Amino acid sequence: ARQPRTTTLSLRPARSAPMWLALTALSLGFVALRLQPPQAVRVRAGVPCAAVSQGAPQRVALGELVRESRAAPLAKRSARRKRGEAKERARQEGAVLREARPLADAHALPFEWLLVLDVEATCDARGRPWEHEIIEFPVVALNLRTLQVEHEFHSFVRPTANQTLTPFCRKLTGITQEQVDAAPPLDAVLREFDGWLRERGLVNTAEARSFAFGTDGHFDCQFFVDGECSRKGIPKAEYFDKWVNLKQLFADHYKVRRCKIAKMLERQGMRFEGRLHSGIDDSRNIARIAAQLVRDGSPVYINEGLPPRQRFLDL
């Protein structure tokens, strides 16, 4: 006998449609929006659609939503561009207006002179360990009352460990082998510099500080001056032990990241003058940065120093 046909029902749930397909189907129709006066209706992305007055519920076509959503990014980009142009104009105008600000009050300064120091040292292009030795020792004396450079000290230095400059070092610094060969060693340069300070009355005492060093970072006083003097047993004055880190002072005052000399000058509306990596030119430009910091109302104070040295006692 013929068996009756049976129908098998599957209890497995039907496969749901992809989410993007459902969203596409939903967006292709008209969206009925019941608007409550007087508030504006906003879609989920935060784009304003329409503001309707009192009345019956309105229907907003999909095309209007698309046009408004496309126009919103363009409007944002335009607003950002206008804000950027306004900031640039304000920066340029501010660079001009800052020149007319009154100078700092000398009685509010912890010292009268800022001695900007930016040494150059022996170096090599390779990544091998290298014993750096100072080959240029420049100091630019900035009067913090007048914000003018009134004195300069400059001397090349003869290295003793690696007496021959590498081609990379000569190209980077512009210093020739003949210049360092004819120069005195570091201990003689430091003695000459100390006499130069005393001739100009720049002396620090326990009661009052006449000057402080200003550097672009901590390398000059800590690693180059103190490091070489410690290795070679060269006597060093105590005024090298603390300094003003102008790179950090710049970042703190203008609320920016620490940057190099050329970038700091650019942020202040100036440009680098001279040859980059020339010790005397770098020092002069750092002095310009320091003077502009004071004009912009930044306090100048000692913010770095050598770490305390370990002392061993004989028991």
Which residues are catalytically annotated? 120, 277
Count of alpha carbons within 13 Å of 284, Cβ hemisphere only? 16
Phi, psi at 189, each rounded to 5°: -65, -40
Residue 222 is inside which H or E element, if any? none
Phi, psi at 222, each rounded to 5°: -80, -55
> Tokens 């100078």 identify what position?
103
Hey, what are 88's tokens?
A: 């640039």
Rounded Cα distance between 202 and 210, Å, is 6
Phi, psi at 82, each rounded to 5°: -65, -40
Rounded Cα distance between 246 and 261, Å, is 10
